[in-house]
Amino acid sequence: MLLSYNLPSIVNFPIRCYKHSATAIDNIFIDTNRKNYCILSPITNGLSDHDAQLITLKKTRLKPSTKHFKIIRTFDKNSSYYFLNKLSYEMWDTTFSCEDVNIMFNAFLDTYLKIFYSSSPPPQNSIYPEKE
pLDDT (tens, 9 = 90+) of the chain, 132 residues, equals: 777 777 777 776 666 666 777 666 667 777 767 667 777 777 776 666 677 777 787 766 666 666 777 777 778 898 899 999 999 999 988 788 888 888 899 989 999 999 998 888 777 665 656 655
Considering the domain architecture, whether residues 81 and 125 belong to the same structural domain is answered as: yes
3-state secondary structure of 77: helix
The predicted pLDDT at position 89 comes to 93
Note the pLDDT of residue 55. 76
**Domain final residue, candidates 15, 35, 57:** 57
Determine, yes or no, domain membership for 64: no
**52 plus 77 within the same structural domain:** no
Residues 41 and 79 in one domain: no
Same domain? For 36 and 86 the reply is no
What is this structure's pTM? 0.44
Q: Looking at residue 59, what is its pLDDT? A: 67
Q: What is the pLDDT of residue 18?
A: 67
Structurally, the chain folds into a number of domains equal to 2
Residue 30: give the domain boundaries. Answer: 2-57
Instruction: Assess whether 98 and 120 both reside in one domain.
Output: yes
Residue finishing a domain among 27, 57, 87: 57
pLDDT of residue 88: 93
Residue 86's pLDDT is 93
* 83 within some domain: yes
Angle at 57 between CA 54 and CA 63, to 5 degrees: 150
Asked whether residue 34 is domain-assigned, the answer is: yes
| Residue 28 in domain | yes
pLDDT at 17: 65
* Residue 63 domain flag: no
CA dihedral 115, 116, 117, 123 (to 10 degrees): 130
Domain contains 104:
yes
